[in-house]
Amino acid sequence: MSVLTENTATPAKPLAQRINWVKLAPWLYTIGLFVLWELLVIVLQTPPTILPAPSRVFQAIVQYWSPIWKNSLQTLYTTTVGFAIAVVAGLAIGLFIGWSKAIYAGLYPLMIGFNAIPKVALVPILVIWFGIGAVPAILTAFLISFFPIVVNVATGLATIEPETEDVLRALGAKKLDIMLKVGIPRSMPYFFGSLKVAITLAFVGSVVSETVASNYGLGNMMSSAQSQFNVPLVFAGLLMLAVEGIAMYALMAWIEMRMTGWAHRSSMSQ
Amino acid sequence: MPHLVTIDNVDMRYGGAAGTLAVSGLTMKVGKGEFAAVVGPSGCGKSTLMKLVTGLHIPQSGVVVVAEKQVTKPVSIVGMAFQNPTMLPWRTTLDNILLPLEIVERHRHRLRANKKEYVEKAEHLLETVGLKGFGSKFPWQLSGGMQQRANLCRALIHEPELLMLDEPFGALDAFTREELWCVIRDLHAAQGVTIILVTHDLREATFLADRIFVMSARPGKVLKEHTVPFARPRDLEVMYEKAFNDMVHELHGEIASARVVA
């Protein structure tokens, strides 16, 4: 920002120097990608049923806007609900695991084993339990995204400096005091950092489940579009997912900055 | 002089029956209001001594008595400061200093209602150590020396009877260290607190302490006890007197031979 305001004061500089290229870069690169894609389709003359050009995809977005919008909201809904449960449960389990070395040692292998299971394999089980629809999508989003939150919170708690703990214990601090005063605030940067990873994983979970077992959502929309060879609509769905993913990631990054600015010292002290 | 700290024939072994013996047959007494320094070769169990006195470790044999009570749990009348200032980065310096008050039983229930009084006290302490007006800064905005000053304030805020210092000035440059020696000297003179200072720096020990305990190599025990003869208040100039240098020299010799034995 400062570069921009500084340069408007001296308008003698050429245009190329007046533009903040770093701020503009994400947009330029995105446009560049679409242009490249468009050119590739024109040069190779790929049929739209194999790889539709971006212009064709945008056309599909306009054409099918009503179902796309409805299904995007549905996916956003299942993802954020699953993610919200993951935040609450991940925080709770992370605090529980980080509480003592014995719990940490006992539960950690179990958690890793659980995380190694492909969540798509759990969808049929969830369908048996809850039927098809929003519930399996929410639960899959939850199951896939809570692990990084747990690991990060537990790590934050497990790495309290021993001196800090000694100082407080010598004053008669209980385990709960140390957790409340040091452990939890200390693990917050880890926690907020993990949200960025978790939210993108949550999209993976909800879309996988919608594809396999739902009548709503972008996953379902894309799988039925695919069965009708409506490939531009499939790509339109992918594009919407990317947009939602970027928006939620940006939101998490913003929350992280707001909540734990102290952990980003170098940028704040300037 | 009544003794605030009595350690009698203490053994402390880490890691079960076959573990390392950190201190063995350790005996020492520190009087109320006294400034004691503990020196010795590295690995002589100085940090173990800190943990024994504060009740973080309970010895396998022997007795530790602090303030006429046998130590069986953390004693809470102590303040501690380590070489690493361990300020919490999400709290301002002032809030860091107030942290012990949120823990110590006698203050934690009064803190909210008497916040103003406590803040005034913390600000007074900050002024004493030369950090007036820095309370609202975050610790990572302070230099190492300033953080260590704030660390001393945190160790003193709950008016401990005993201050345990574990090489608090080890990581500082020579001039800052001398400044903080004077800060500690003045705090000791003004508040009448009992101080046990664990250090590698023999000049530091001789300048600050009333008595110096020389410890042996592991397993640690007290080899020799010196009474420091220089009159208080001491000026930094005392370090250039012959008697001062002779004493540092003697201590140096004792520790060197303790290392050879090990």
The average confidence (pLDDT) of chain A is: 86
CA A133 to chain centre: 22
The string of pLDDT tens digits covering residues B164-196 is 998 888 878 888 888 888 888 988 888 888 999
How much is the average pLDDT of B215-232? 85
| Contact assignment for B158 to A269 by CB distance below 8 Å | no
Note the pLDDT of residue A102: 84
Q: Can you give the pLDDT at residue A265? A: 63
Q: What is the pLDDT of residues B41-62, one digit of tens each?
A: 887 788 888 888 888 888 888 8
* Cβ–Cβ under 8 Å, residues A157 and A183: yes
Quote the crossing angle between the two packed helices A101-116 and A65-99, to the nearest 10°: 150
Residue B200's pLDDT is 87
Sequence spans of domains, chain B: 1-77+163-175+195-262, 84-160
pLDDT of residue A4 exceeding 50: no
pLDDT in the model for residue B1: 58
The predicted pLDDT at position A158 comes to: 81
Q: How far is B80 from chain A (nearest CA, A)?
A: 6
Query: Tell me: the pLDDT tens digits for B7-43?
Result: 888 888 887 777 788 888 888 888 888 999 998 888 7
Nearest C-alpha in A relative to B154: A167
Kindly report the nearest CA distance between residue A259 and chain B, in angstroms: 10
Statement: residue A17 has pLDDT above 80 = no
DSSP state of A13: S
| Other CB atoms within 10 A of residue A247 CB | 12
Which amino acid makes up residue A156?
Answer: G
Distance (Å, whole) CA A182 – CA A98: 13
Mean pLDDT for B238-254 is 89
**What is the pLDDT, as a whole number, of residue B233?**
84
Average pLDDT over residues B136-144: 88
B57 touches chain A (CB under 8 A): no
B9: left (phi over 0), alpha (psi -120 to 50) or beta: left
State percent of chain B over pLDDT 90: 8
Q: Is the peptide bond before A162 cis (omega within 30 degrees of 0)?
A: no
B69-70 sheet: strands from edge to edge: B21-31, B3-13, B61-66, B69-70
How would residue A269 be classed by pLDDT, with cut points 50, 70 and 90? very low
Q: Which residues of B touch A182 (CB under 8 A)?
A: 88
pLDDT at A235 over 90: yes
Of B88, B105, B140, the CB nearest to A265: B140
Q: What is the value of ipTM here, to two decimals?
A: 0.78
Rounded CA gap, A197 and B71, in Å?
48
Does B221 contact chain A (CB < 8 Å)?
A: no
Q: Does A270 touch chain B (CB under 8 A)?
A: no
* A51 reaches B (C-beta below 8 A): no
Mean pLDDT, to the nearest integer, of A208-236?
Answer: 89
In Å, how far is A255's CA from the nearest CA of chain B?
Answer: 16
Q: Packing angle between helix A217-227 and helix A184-213, nearest 10 degrees?
A: 30
Nearest residue of B to residue A265 by CA position?
Answer: B140
The phi, psi pair for B164, rounded to 5°, reads -105, 120
Q: What average pLDDT does range A210-226 have in this prediction?
A: 88
**Nearest beta carbon to residue A167 from set B80, B90, B105:** B80
* Chain B contact for A197 (CB, 8 A cutoff): no
How much is the pLDDT for A85? 96
Q: Cβ–Cβ of B89/A262 closer than 8 Å?
A: yes
What pLDDT shows up at residue A247? Answer: 94
Q: Which of A3-7, A14-18, A166-170, A189-193 has the lowest mean pLDDT?
A: A3-7
* Contact pairs from chain A to chain B, CB under 8 Å: 72
Q: In what order do the strands lie in the sheet with B222-227?
A: B78-82, B162-166, B194-198, B35-39, B211-215, B222-227
**In the CATH scheme, what is the code of domain B1-77+163-175+195-262?**
3.40.50.300
Question: What is residue B113's predicted lDDT score, i.e. its pLDDT?
Answer: 83
CB–CB of A104/A98 below 8 Å? yes
- From chain A, the residues in CB contact with B47 under 8 A are none
Closest Cα in chain B, distance from residue A19 (Å): 34
Cβ contacts of B53 on chain A, cutoff 8 Å: none
CA distance A4 to B31: 67
More confident residue, B113 or A136: A136
Mean pLDDT of the region A137-159? 89
Please answer yes or no on whether B86 and A161 come within 8 Å at the CB atom: yes
